[in-house]
Amino acid sequence: MGIIKRLDPGIANKIAAGEVVEKLANVVKELVENSIDAESTKIDIDLFDSGMKSIRVTDNGFGMDEEDAVLAFERHATSKIKSVNDLFRIQSLGFRGEALPSIAAISRVELSTSNGKDGIKIVYEDGKMLEKTHTSMNQGTMIEVSKLFYSTPARFKYLKSPQYELANIVSMVNGFALANPSISFKLTNDKKQIFVSKSNDSLTNLMAQIYGIQAGKSLIYFEAENRDYHIYGYTTNPIVNRSSRNYINIVVNNRIISNSDIVSAISDAYDQLIPKGRYPITILYIEVDPLLIDVNIHPRKQEIKFSEKDKLVNLIKKALKEKLEVTYIYQKPSEDYSQTKITFFEEETSYHHNQEVKNEVSNDQVKKEETVVIPDMEYIGQFAGTYLIWQNEEGLYLLDQHAAAERIRYERYLAKWLSKNLETNELLLPLSIEISNDLLIRLKDHIDEFLKFGVDLEIKDNFVSVKKLPNWFPEGYEEIYIESMIMSLLENDFTSKEILIDDLAKLLACKHSLKANHYISSLEANQLLSDLRKCKRPYTCPHGRPIIVDINMNAIEHWFNRVI
């Protein structure tokens, strides 16, 4: 008896702080979310030494009176949940009443707030109230957090460099601005302005400010809905991509979240348009009835649970694919020739960049737009045994001969394998292929599966005997193709025939395509271009690499000071 005791409130708050506050950006997140919930239209975040010395958040929200200001420091005291039913329709960003007492338990917190009538100032340190006085201030709230982790030095040592911590905070504020474009945000560090957004500015301008002018100019608007979800947002032209999935922003009912399935859906929609491991810059807004989501599954509310998630994922993927297919055409370079203008063949954004989010061009208008194909041009020669050079009145064009050959063969192979009438050749003399004993054992269970791909084989002792194969296999490459098929099909465990066919078409197209550092005649070059024109996606290889780049004539003249 007497072993189990109630935790001291101070200890409980420190434990909660370990879940809620792991780094400086978490403090900024909790304070800014409170400001947003207070219906602020202007939020200033002022850091000193990247937040290591202090973090101050000031807003013009509805503020608090003395009673509410005192209660705000008590654990599980909140204005956002009044009954158990409210848990199933949460619309505020915060709701647990843990953030402020958790932060106050491991730092010094000065809170000044006014509801427009009375002002109150409260100072907490190490979880204890040190001061409560009346003050004069405009309506709103100012909270300053300093001495963070001073009572828990073990946690302080896990903080990274000031630059790293600052970068995390900047990224978080970027997300808040994108999720709440109606609010003006300002971020400073040591009184130096780092970021500012204007309330009700266009999202395209905001994304250009965050991710750069090139990204802002390449944005494509998309929108779709089903019974439960309404989605809309902007994503970049495939040629504007980044190496990190952190450039994909997901906003659900004004809440920035993380969700790997949604990120994968967005990435999958760019199939073959961008290289593997690269990601578009995207802002995706999801509007849904709060009853259909659960935001209470993560201590920092970064993840949520969706009802009918598969339908949402399919909606996102379908909306983006349709938009990318329609708009993937050649874009002329901009008229700024102060820098070298080498632009990829890419889609043209079909919308004015200063439009509001939902002011998109109708699908009928998009369908009526003329698609610009590869222009007429004259072959000049070959550079470095790899790049074919062409010209017309617009400028110069470089074509990667290997990437072009890959695209041509990939689409041919894909069409052959997907044909309802797969034509095969029976070999007069079976083809013998030696493979390792472990692969032979695995292969025994999948002999029948190969027939779906036009390959009839059997296992004999320590080799594979191939009796029939697709008639389009290039002569001299039969053994290489069969070996590649065996390895690919076994590694993928026959999960999906369509996916396997696509993977095999990519793999085999690469193996037999025209290689780099290989001389070709002008006749062969022109035939290559003619075949490329017939492809559905002639601007990237099956792996997402560009096939053609354009060097604009005006840019060339600028280099030689010929621009008037």
pLDDT for the residue 2? 62
Residues 184 and 213 both lie in one domain: no
Q: What CATH number is given to the structural domain containing 386?
A: 3.30.1540.20
Q: Give me the amino acid identity at 196.
A: V
- Flag whether 338 is in a domain: no
Same domain, 39 and 182: yes
Final residue of a domain: which of 156, 175, 196? Answer: 196
Check the CA dihedral 49-51-52-55 and report its sign.
Answer: positive
In a domain, 322, yes or no: yes
How many domains is the chain partitioned into structurally? 3
The reply to whether 225 and 152 lie within a common domain is no
| 471's tokens | 């008639």
Query: What are the DSSP E strand ranges found in 182-259?
Result: 184-189, 192-196, 219-225, 229-236, 241-242, 248-252, 255-257
Report the C-alpha gap between 482 and 459 in whole angstroms.
14
Owner of token pair 């970021």: 195
Q: Is residue 333 part of a domain?
A: no
Q: Which two tokens stand for residue 19?
A: 């879940």
Burial (CB count within 10 angstroms: exposed 0-12, middle 13-18, buried 19+), residue 427: middle
Decide: 250 and 256 in contact? Cβ < 8 Å: yes
Whole-angstrom Cα distance, residue 358 to residue 344? 28
Structural domain boundaries enclosing 270: 203-327
**Residue 192: what pLDDT?**
94
Pair 262, 380 in one domain: no
Q: Could you give the CA distance from residue 406 to residue 209 in angstroms, rounded to a whole number? A: 37
pLDDT at residue 371, as a whole number: 46
Tell me, yes or no, whether 527 and 414 share the same domain: yes
The per-residue pLDDT for 537 is 86
Strands 282-288 and 248-252: parallel
Residue 156 lies in a domain: yes
Can you give the pLDDT of all 564 residues of the chain as single tens digits?
A: 566 555 556 555 554 444 456 788 989 999 999 899 889 999 999 999 999 999 999 999 989 989 888 888 886 545 544 444 444 444 545 444 477 888 888 889 999 999 988 899 999 998 889 999 999 899 999 999 998 877 555 556 667 788 888 888 998 999 999 999 999 999 999 999 999 999 878 999 999 898 888 888 889 999 999 999 999 999 998 878 887 888 899 999 888 888 999 999 999 998 878 877 788 999 999 998 888 877 665 555 567 888 888 999 999 999 999 898 776 543 333 333 333 333 334 332 622 233 333 333 344 444 433 344 788 999 999 998 889 999 999 899 999 999 999 999 899 888 888 887 888 888 888 988 877 766 777 788 788 888 888 889 998 877 889 999 888 887 777 887 788 788 777 776 555 677 777 877 887 787 665 555 678 889 999 999 999 999 988 888 888 888 998 888 888 888 888 865
Q: Is residue 355 part of a domain?
A: no
CB 396 within 8 Å of CB 383: no
Q: Are residues 559 and 412 in the same domain?
A: yes
Same domain? For 75 and 110 the reply is yes
- What per-residue confidence (pLDDT) applies to 358? 37
Looking at residue 363, its pLDDT comes to 45
What's the pLDDT score for residue 155?
Answer: 56
CATH number (domain holding residue 139): 3.30.565.10
Same domain? For 151 and 221 the reply is no
| 127 and 224 share one domain | no
pLDDT at position 132 is 93
CA dist., res. 227 & res. 507, Å (int): 40
389 lies in the same domain as 269: no
DSSP state at residue 80: S
Angle 170-79-249 (CA atoms, 0-180°, nearest 5)?
A: 30
Answer yes or no: is 518 within a domain: yes
- 114, amino acid identity: S
Three state DSSP letters for 10-48: HHHHHHHHHHHCCCHHHHHHHHHHHHHHCCCCEEEEEEE
Please check whether residues 269 and 401 belong to one and the same domain.
Answer: no
- 337: in domain: no
CATH code, domain carrying 215: 3.30.230.10
Last residue of a domain, one of 267, 297, 327: 327
Would residue 302 count as lying in a domain? yes
pLDDT of residue 336: 38
Look at residues 169, 196, 223 and tell me which one is the last residue of a structural domain. 196
Do 67 and 122 have their domain in common?
A: yes
